[in-house]
Amino acid sequence: MTQIQVTATPTIKGWTCQAEIEEPGATSRHLVEVTHAELRRFGAGRTPQELVQASLRFLLQREPASAILASFSLSEIEQYFPDFPELV
């Protein structure tokens, strides 16, 4: 079973989230930037940590953890997956 752990550190623009994806036999780490605007747009009342977890689960349904960028801004997901806003 895949486990996703996220910690969020407040910044001036929003949050820097450190995420760890643990899968059987592999662990990957990711740095995800979340702005206040992205939280309002995609968050639907969730915390930054919950939004990043949901976003990573979205990505894991489409690609392996090893293919997820090590560092990215939350809004970058939509560039690769246009359906992200509706499904996250």
> φ, ψ for residue 62 (rounded to 5)?
-115, -20
Decide if pLDDT at 3 tops 90. Answer: yes
| pTM for this entry | 0.94
Q: Which two tokens stand for residue 49?
A: 């940590």
pLDDT tens-digit map of 24-66: 889 999 999 999 999 999 998 999 999 999 999 999 999 999 9
DSSP secondary-structure letter at 88?
-
> What are the sequence ranges of the domains in the chain?
3-73
Give phi and psi for 28, each to the nearest 5: -125, 150
